[in-house]
Amino acid sequence: MTLATRLRTLRATKKWTQEQAAKEIGTTTDNLAQIEKGRRHPRLSTLSRIADAYGVDVGELIALEDAAAPLAV
């Protein structure tokens, strides 16, 4: 699962609109929309605020799509 997909899923779980989520995170709706579409990569400080807003660890947000799959070298 990609970061963008995780964020959309977490937001849906909270039943927040993008506007509500952006306000909780402390960013703009446009910035959040771009991150959720995978068009923009958030800064570490933004990732931290996102994790806090959704009640998860930053590591959960950026975990590999399938931790059991071997890494390509």
Whether residue 67 has pLDDT greater than 70: no
Query: 3-class SS at 16?
Result: coil
pLDDT at 63 over 90: no
SS3 at position 17: coil
**Domains, the chain:** 3-62 (1.10.260.40)
CA distances from 38 to 35, 41, 42, 73 (A): 5, 7, 10, 24
pLDDT at 64: 54
**Other beta carbons less than 10 A from residue 32's beta carbon:** 23
CA-CA-CA-CA torsion for 27, 53, 40, 67, nearest 10 degrees? 170
Greater model confidence, 69 or 16 = 16
Mean pLDDT of 43-59: 94
Q: For tokens 């699962």, what's the residue?
A: 1
